[in-house]
Structure 1
């Protein structure tokens, strides 16, 4: 009897999903860099809360400083770029070593996908959507897109983790 791991498509699915999210994040970062002004305005309006219901109980949260909004936007772009790079390297590393343990590729994929989940879950849904009441805006509401991006990254993360479960089971007991 051999100790060969069973061949499944799950590791390849994980690689493909990771690569898709890497491509998407790279295109998002590229778009934000090359068309800086469009989403710069988005971030400024969301933080200023100038298109929300203007409830006096919430408006104290608004940030109207263009400098502060621009720093936040630059941080988002840097985060997107780092996540895209991590995901691309993770997918490539994993694809090259697909017959072996995912190891480093799975780890990098996991970290990159967690970065995407933090960006869209904590950054856009929780902070932008709830703290800055972005959901109230008809013009500057990114909650639907954030939910879509969060969901795709979450599904990819589940597949990456499922693909890694088979590898952990194949390891000899200590």
Structure 2
């Protein structure tokens, strides 16, 4: 008889958490491809710094070129597709090795870890670090995604820690 052990439950929880992150990535991708303009507008306003309270001392950082806005937005979309695909593959790999040895299950975590690292790059490095610290996004009343990005990082980063822990037997 196959019983649900704590070890098995831990493995399943890792698969499920990766599925959550994959699902989020799919929704973000669908939004970006079906409503390109709304997020492009956000990126353009942040890069232009036209809605911030930035002092004249840092306005040299503003990027006003629509061509560069589109290229940066496509870079972000490419990174979002990359992390989503890696997370989907990671979810599949974890599920595929759910009954394997502890060593094999641990090795199956590679794509999940890579996907989460790319997601952290987008939401922490690009939005929270570059957006806030370089483009002064947090002073914009209408185009501030600092808290939104922080909530994503607050979920994804602990999941990465949990996924990478080698607690399975």
Residues 85-100 of structure 1 mapped to structure 2, 5 A cutoff: 85-100=85-100
Does the CA contact (< 8 Å) of 2:87 and 2:112 recur in 1? yes
Using the TM superposition, give the Cα deviation of residue 61 of structure 1 relative to its aligned residue in structure 2, in angstroms: 0.3
Provide the secondary structure at the position in 1 that maps to 2:57: coil
In structure 1, which of residues 132, 137, 145 is the aligned counterpart of residue 148 of structure 2? 145
Deviations 1:90-129 (A, max 9, x none): 1011112111122453110011011111110100000011
Does the CA contact (< 8 Å) of 1:94 and 1:104 recur in 2? no
C-alpha distance in 1 between matches for 2:127 and 2:20: 21
Does the CA contact (< 8 Å) of 1:18 and 1:88 recur in 2? yes
RMSD: 1.5
C-alpha distance in 2 between matches for 1:29 and 1:129: 23
Does the CA contact (< 8 Å) of 1:89 and 1:108 recur in 2? yes
- Stretches of structure 1 lacking an aligned partner (at least 5 in a row): none
C-alpha distance in 2 between matches for 1:144 and 1:6: 35
Does the CA contact (< 8 Å) of 2:14 and 2:163 recur in 1? yes
Residues 95-174 of structure 1 mapped to structure 2, 5 A cutoff: 95-100=95-100, 101-162=104-165, 165-167=166-168
TM-score w.r.t. length of structure 1:
0.88
Does the CA contact (< 8 Å) of 1:10 and 1:159 recur in 2? no
- Stretches of structure 2 lacking an aligned partner (at least 5 in a row): none
Using the TM superposition, give the Cα deviation of residue 6 of structure 1 relative to its aligned residue in structure 2, in angstroms: 7.3
Report runs of 4+ in structure 1 exceeding 3 Å deviation. Answer: none
